[in-house]
Amino acid sequence: MTWIADIIVDVPAMQTDQPFSYEVPDHLVDVVEVGLRVEVPFGNGNRHIQGFIVGLRETLETEVELKAIIGVLDLHPVLTHELLALADEMKETTYSYKITCLQTMLPSVMKSSYTKYVTQTDKALPKIIEEELFLGLAEIEWEQAQESPHFAELLRLKKTGHVDIRYEVTTKNKVKTKRVLKKVMTNEQLQAERENLRKNAVQKWRLLSFLLEIDEAEHGIKEVMETHDISNSAINDGKKLGWLTIEEREVYRDPYALHQFKKDEPLVLNSEQQEALDTMKESMDASKSDVFLLEGVTGSGKTEVYLQAIAHCLAKGQTAIMLVPEISLTPQTVTRFKKRFGDDVAVLHSGLSQGEKYDEWRKIERKEASVVVGARSAVFAPLENIGLIVIDEEHEGSYKQDETPRYHAKYLAIWRGNYHHCPVLLGSATPSLEARARAQKGVYRLLILNERAVSKATLPIINIVDMKLEMKNALSTSFSNQLLEKLKERMEKKEQSVLMLNRRGYSSFVMCRDCGYVLPCPNCDISLTLHMDTKQMKCHYCGHEERIPYRCPICDGDKIRYYGTGTQKIEEELKELLPDARVIRMDVDTTRKKGAHEKLLKQFGAGDADILLGTQMIAKGLDFPNVTLVGVLNADTALNLPDFRASEKTFQLLTQVSGRAGRGDKSGEVVIQTFNPDHYAIQLAKNQEYEPFYQHELKLRHRGNYPPFYFTTQLVVSHEEEHLAAKKMFEIVHFLKGFLSPNAIMLGPTPKSVARMNKRYYYQTVIKYKNEPELSKGLKVILEESQKEMRNGLRITIDMEPQHFI
């Protein structure tokens, strides 16, 4: 009888994307478990790599000679059966390798790195090699050896057995420890020790006095040394003299250790909130895997509903996951959860260091936290007995990962909801068309919050400024008179303003400054993109091309301009227009450093600035009572992106940013500068009219055969040579047509809007379809082929339901 383990090895390739069988050596039989990471030999040579056990079986007949597992990397499984099954789902739906999916589910420190060494054997080496390569050492790193002029000689010595190759698998998941002391003597004994001290033994006297004060509990040595001014050597002496014991204790790197969270109580819900909560509770109690869409205007108190629903699930002894978009995982959000649930909360987001992430993960795994708040990847939290999964701002594109594996956290959350027989709650003020349509069809259950729950505070007054008129008045800056006046007003009243510059679509289109006209594609409902390199306007969906116009085809004006601007330029303009204004600029440049984001917001919150100027990142979750003015400098840019979601994104952004004004007692005002004041996305955002927007947009999607009526799949091919990328893209399209019915629509192949990135040319094709059972077979062949094509410098990606088309 032998135990065999089926193992997924750390080789992300098509040919190795399957379990390999290994023998479990006797000494590991009691340790191995499904979900454990192990070190295994793989391939010829004695290369060692990491693997995941995905199956264990006992067998009588000795199959083909199997290699044996070398050792384990964990003492307990790091992936549950559930997460292993989820990895299968992910692999199938994202066209990626199983090993990539498994690694994505774990903190990055658990990914192995490999080092290769050249070691000496008992056979003597030539003197020159010994002296100039090994430098007297028993072994050296392979990478170093490769650079040496003696490398060729080394290879020969390897063949003759004079040197060996050793592979090392290392994983960085180190636990942080701290030293603690515990007294072992009775107070009488300690007292006696103290009396016997020499007069000048000040340190020991202090230590003994300290030990006399304390009880039998453990005390952190670092803290004792600091607070009682006792040296490390005195403590070590104390150990030798038998006064105390020293031990190492594991500690968590708690990023919130310095914060104090005062416990708060649930708020009283209004009748709408209560109704929504009751419906949720009913579903939770009946263990139904319902998906709810909670549609609530900004300020309707969605978060309080989440908190109380989660509290209900904890009260039943279950656990919960709360996903929030990366960008809005502000200290404010975290605080709200920590205040309600205390240490029961684990937080996972990209602002944490690798070690901190690992520790939060460990806290969850050890069942020391039952609520997980985090960004996209928190959907993989190793919780058991989940009772509820909440996805806040459900419409956010950041729930989809834009590199392999291109999973969508929303759909994986729903998968987990099914597995645990628990509901999933999607919340948004501006639901995605996809989610809202599913609610309409009854696939999701719709819950609506119409009332503002917080202060019955009025909706902010929203002013739309027609920048075309401003331009006629020879405006030379990015600020309309109206916005500038209002900014001055706030400064006089010592109130604060937030200015948002929409950076999406930077400079990528041309627009008539007289009438706001943007060149559309004659075949698709989107605008054309400017390609300066070829001096052409191109459609990224169907490939249509035309010249850059120099006169506006509508008003015949000649003020056709490339459109786009940056935060730095705006800041300079502000300095000239309002020299006294204190401005905090927040964009990718000023927030790159860890903690910078938080720091800037803190400064602004403390009133250290009059104006917060930033990009999209300031649109969400900020809650500053003294902000009474929000200005959107350029509402149009996102609108003109060659993306069928352009209107949706603009509407969502404007609705959200408007919600930033007037959070306190003072009422707020919003100024939206636009060249398209009559566009439905802008007009409907003005009064936060989601329903009419949804209805209107849905019609357009229907007409254009876009989601939610059609599924979309994007294929991208890139190569350093443009014609090779194009050629391959055409071949793929031709090939895929054999797997598609005539109902499927192909857009492309076309070059991508940024046709050349990092010296590579990109071509893309988008397939729109309703029901194509053969498509996945075709895509799997493409995936297989992409592996081989790598050798020819081609990169091929498959993106199911892409979020961005640029």
Q: Which CB, 27 or 262, lies closer to DNA? A: 27
521 labeled part of a ligand binding site: yes
Please pick, from the candidates 85, 787, 795, 801, the single residue that binds DNA as defined by CB under 7 A: 787
CA separation (Å) from 540 to 302, 438, 698?
Answer: 38, 28, 22
| Least distance CB 47 / DNA (angstroms) | 5
515 labeled part of a ligand binding site: yes
524 labeled part of a ligand binding site: yes
The yes or no reply on residue 3 touching DNA (CB under 7 A) is no
The yes or no reply on residue 790 touching DNA (CB under 7 A) is yes
Round the CA-based radius of gyration of the chain to a whole number and report it. Answer: 31
The yes or no reply on residue 22 touching DNA (CB under 7 A) is yes
Could you tell me where the DSSP H helices lie in 12-148?
Answer: 81-94, 98-104, 127-129, 142-147
The yes or no reply on residue 403 touching DNA (CB under 7 A) is no
Pair type for strands 545-547 and 795-800: unpaired
| Least distance CB 43 / DNA (angstroms) | 4
Q: Which CB, 20 or 710, lies closer to DNA? A: 20
DSSP state letter for 265: -
| Least distance CB 28 / DNA (angstroms) | 14
Q: Which of 545, 547, 541 is nearest to 749 (CA)?
A: 541
The yes or no reply on residue 11 touching DNA (CB under 7 A) is yes
Report yes or no: 683 and 641 within 8 Å, Cβ to Cβ. Answer: no
Q: Is the peptide bond before 708 cis (omega within 30 degrees of 0)?
A: yes
Q: Which CB, 684 or 798, lies closer to DNA? A: 798
Please pick, from the candidates 12, 520, 707, 708, the single residue that binds DNA as defined by CB under 7 A: 12
Q: Can you tell me the distance from the alpha carbon of 672 to that of 632, in angstroms, rounded to the nearest whole number? A: 5
The yes or no reply on residue 21 touching DNA (CB under 7 A) is yes
| Least distance CB 163 / DNA (angstroms) | 12
The yes or no reply on residue 95 touching DNA (CB under 7 A) is no
What percent of the residues of the chain are helix, what percent strand, and what percent coil, each to the nearest 5?
Answer: 35, 25, 40
Please pick, from the candidates 8, 42, 341, 601, the single residue that binds DNA as defined by CB under 7 A: 42
Q: Which of 222, 374, 386, 267 is nearest to 319 (CA)?
A: 386
How many residues are there in the chain?
A: 806
Size of the site for DNA (CB under 7 A): 25
DSSP state letter for 524: S
Strands (E), 618-663: 627-632
422 labeled part of a ligand binding site: no
313 labeled part of a ligand binding site: no
The yes or no reply on residue 160 touching DNA (CB under 7 A) is no
| Least distance CB 725 / DNA (angstroms) | 19
Q: Which tokens is 506 given?
A: 């930077």
Return all residues near 327 (Cβ < 8 A) that are at least 6 apart. Answer: 398, 616, 617, 620, 621
The yes or no reply on residue 45 touching DNA (CB under 7 A) is yes
Write the single-letter amino acid at 698: L
The yes or no reply on residue 152 touching DNA (CB under 7 A) is yes
Q: Can you tell me the distance from the alpha carbon of 120 to that of 389, in angstroms, rounded to the nearest whole number? A: 56
Q: To which residue do tokens 């609520």 refer? A: 371
| Least distance CB 793 / DNA (angstroms) | 11
102-141: which residues touch DNA (CB under 7 A)? 114, 116
58-77: which residues touch DNA (CB under 7 A)? 64, 66-67
| Least distance CB 165 / DNA (angstroms) | 7
| Least distance CB 66 / DNA (angstroms) | 4
Q: Can you tell me the distance from the alpha carbon of 709 to that of 397, in angstroms, rounded to the nearest whole number? A: 19
The yes or no reply on residue 44 touching DNA (CB under 7 A) is yes
Could you tell me where the DSSP H helices lie in 366-452?
Answer: 409-420, 433-441
Please pick, from the candidates 20, 256, 680, 739, the single residue that binds DNA as defined by CB under 7 A: 20
Q: Can you tell me the distance from the alpha carbon of 68 to that of 19, in angstroms, rounded to the nearest whole number? A: 14
DSSP for 455-485 reads S--PPPEEEEEEHHHHHHTT--SS--HHHHH
Q: Which CB, 128 or 443, lies closer to DNA? A: 128
The binding site consists of 512, 515, 521, 524, 539, 542, 552, 555
Point out the annotated binding site for Zn(2+): 512, 515, 521, 524, 539, 542, 552, 555
User: Which residue ranges make up the site for DNA (CB under 7 A)?
Assistant: 11-13, 15-16, 20-23, 41-45, 47, 64, 66-67, 114, 116, 152, 155, 787, 790-791
